[in-house]
Amino acid sequence: MSEDLRRSTPTQDQQPGGRRAVPEPLVEVRNLDVDFRTGGGSVHAVRGANLTIYPGQSVAIVGESGSGKSTTAHAIIGLLPGSGRVTGGSITFGGRELVGLRRRELERLRGSEIGLVPQDPMSNLNPVWRIGFQVKEALTANHLDVTREQRQRLEDGLVAESSPRDDDELFLGSASKPALLTDIRGALEDSGVSGTSLDEQMKRWDETLDVGSVTRSEVRRRLLAAKISGAEQIALGHVTGSTVNDRVAGLLTEAGLPDSARRARQYPHEFSGGMRQRALIAIGLAGRPKLLIADEITSALDVTVQRRILDHLEGLTRQLGTTVLLITHDLGLAAERAEHLVVMYKGRVVESGPALDILQHPEHPYTKRLVASAPSLVSQRIQSTKHAAVRTGTPASGVGAPGVGAAQGTAELADHRPLIEVSHLTRRFDIRGSKEPLLAVDDVSFEVRRGTTLALVGESGSGKSTVANMVLRLLEPTKGSILFDGRDALALRKAELLHFRRRVQPVFQNPYGSLDPQYSIYRALVEPMRIHHVGNRASREKRARELLDMVQLPASTLRRYPNELSGGQRQRIAIARALALDPEVIVCDEAVSALDVLVQSQILTLLNDLQAEFGLTYLFITHDLAVVRQIADEVVVMQHGRIVEHSSTDEVFAHPQQAYTRELIEAIPGGSLHIGGAGAPTEPSGTAS
């Protein structure tokens, strides 16, 4: 393995001898092995993993679920779940060996040296405690509550220091902030500032001097920078320490929660997903750790929220000098946020190196496959196998470049007649305890042409799934009409509705929930035929085999049960079941959102092939614009129940008309990166800071 390392290290020779000394790595993981003990022996979760992180860097581990990326990160912080054990190799942190450390010593390390922001913001905050209390817990656990600060001040007093040290732990308190502002105002007035200029400057000071967040040295530095007379005395006199509550508010402010003192008194259920994640970031950074492990922190969030949180985290950690280890399944996100990438597959590090270099010249077969199918990096509609296979490593044509296929697609579009016509669709929900009803869908109109794909895009709460359920006739609209093949779908009687159901089929988001766990795959596939009394036993079984073949699963799958299949396989079964009755329309409600990138692209390709073969019409509901580009002909963007933009896919990506659409496109992780290596005008030197 060390030979491999040496093989690709000619860069060191390029460095002239006069360069400054190489810094000490903060984290070094060498030949790490982690096993999980299960009923039937042990499972090797991580095998011979190597990882080096330098102070101040951001490094990302990329891999699919089960690749060992989270296990590696959890091994560093000593939080392996259940029966997980480090069985070999070493992990050093700041030169200190972590493997074999006792629980108490690890506890001392956690929070203050290594922080963790966990994945799921919904379950990682205790619902019975206020947010502020939970942040305070993090401070107390690391002895950073007020007693420690007082002790620090006493120590400082003993040493008789007159000027604050750079790393001092004295924060601005809420009690002394008014006096501080008064003094600043006085100093500004003395230097001749007055009128609106004075008010504006004071407003800025008020907003930027966050209680419990800025330290004495920071205040001094800022005052000096603003050339305020007597800066030293003002900072020394008024920044004399904060209460714990001030610190809590300060930490929440840092994490990007406005009005934090009030927010700290709220409970987790009063927070949105993004706000909870910010609270978790505040907790993770409370102990001012040297290393912050961010484990899929934005996977559960909307793209725009994801972008805002990652931007904020990036700025904050840079300001604090925190080293960041990002764990993610999203190659685009990793390449955008980290300078060094580690790609893991089946417990092994298969490739590592500078982020852009890996993206442009992937060498391991797995990385190549990953780069080829990352939705954020693929900028074209998947071409069906009937015409051409998915091209791997196609040079990104950029957002604005109109492809040849796209032009054809638009020309073809005009020939298709609308199969579904939705007009003025509205759905109100009465909310308990509120007089104001919720307008989940508000006056939505669109058409889906036969044989094409219309993508309904929006963030959570945009009403896109409600529209899907109404089109499926699973939910009655409050107002509006749905025409299916020229007939009013809302007026269908029982027998006609049964016929309608045969022609319009759904595929749902959750591959673990949409198949009855008690039904074998055979039973699940013949169920639609049984309900509609199609065929006899023999012909049904033949059809089930055909269906499995269509979704590229072996016939042996018939006898299996859903719990034996992976998420992607279940989703293929769900697609097969939807196809059982030869429908014309398939409504895909977030059908690929829960899947790993590679599986996701596989399913998208499958859907495309099926469309080309059977002339299917898709209504594709998704929150992910990157996926839209791969599958849709037309896009409807929804926000707060209304349509904000409706256009062809190429048009939406090339010339987004609305600010919201632009925001969504920009939020696609890695969307701005150019890959493929075919003369992409990138600056590799821009990676290292």
Minimum distance of another protein from residue 379's CB (angstroms): 21
Cα separation, 537 vs 566, in Å, equals 28
**Piece of 49-57, 110-118, 249-257, 383-391 that binds another protein (CB under 8 A):** 49-57
In this structure, the number of other CB atoms found within 10 A of the CB of residue 561 comes to: 15
The token pair at 88 is 């070999």
User: Among residues 24 and 412, whose Cβ is nearest to another protein?
Assistant: 24
Which residues, 6+ apart, have CB-to-CB distance to 572 below 8 Å?
A: 551, 552, 553, 603, 606
Does 440 bind another protein (CB under 8 A)? Our answer is no
User: Among residues 108 and 369, whose Cβ is nearest to another protein?
Assistant: 369
Residues 337-376 that bind another protein (CB under 8 A): 340, 345-346, 348-354, 356-358, 360-361, 363-366, 369
User: Among residues 286 and 471, whose Cβ is nearest to another protein?
Assistant: 471
- Compose the 81-100 pattern: x for residues touching another protein by CB under 8 A, - for all others: --------------------
Does 484 bind another protein (CB under 8 A)? Our answer is no
Q: Which residue of 196, 434, 536, 563 would you call a contact of another protein, by CB under 8 A? A: 563
**Tokens 């791997």 belong to residue:** 392
The token pair at 154 is 């006493």
Closest by CA position to 211, among listed 244, 162, 177, 257: 177
Residues 262-301 that bind another protein (CB under 8 A): none
Cα separation, 32 vs 43, in Å, equals 14
Residues 508-527 that bind another protein (CB under 8 A): 508-510, 513-518, 520, 527
User: Among residues 518 and 536, whose Cβ is nearest to another protein?
Assistant: 518
How many residues line the site for another protein (CB under 8 A)? 83
User: Among residues 49 and 286, whose Cβ is nearest to another protein?
Assistant: 49
Cα separation, 314 vs 689, in Å, equals 12
Residues 312-341 that bind another protein (CB under 8 A): 340
User: Among residues 501 and 646, whose Cβ is nearest to another protein?
Assistant: 501
Query: Secondary structure of 468-515 in the HEC alphabet?
Result: HHHHCCCCCCCEEEEEECCEEHHHCCHHHHHHHHHHEEEECCCCCCCC
Edge-to-edge strands, sheet with 438-449:
438-449, 418-429, 479-484, 487-488
Cα separation, 354 vs 685, in Å, equals 10
The token pair at 625 is 């614009």
User: What three-state secondary structure class fits 677?
Assistant: coil
Does 196 bind another protein (CB under 8 A)? Our answer is no
User: Among residues 145 and 596, whose Cβ is nearest to another protein?
Assistant: 596
Q: Which residue of 121, 568, 641, 669 would you call a contact of another protein, by CB under 8 A? A: 568
Residues 583-622 that bind another protein (CB under 8 A): 598-599, 602
Q: Which residue of 33, 42, 43, 54 would you call a contact of another protein, by CB under 8 A? A: 54
Question: DSSP string spanning 117-180?
Answer: E-S-TTTSS-TTS-HHHHHHHHHHHTT-SHHHHHHHHHHHHHHT--S--TT---B--TTTHHHH
- Compose the 5-44 pattern: x for residues touching another protein by CB under 8 A, - for all others: x--xxxxx-xx------xx-x--x----------------
Does 434 bind another protein (CB under 8 A)? Our answer is no
Does 556 bind another protein (CB under 8 A)? Our answer is yes
The token pair at 183 is 């003094």
The token pair at 527 is 């169920």
Minimum distance of another protein from residue 241's CB (angstroms): 39
Does 650 bind another protein (CB under 8 A)? Our answer is no
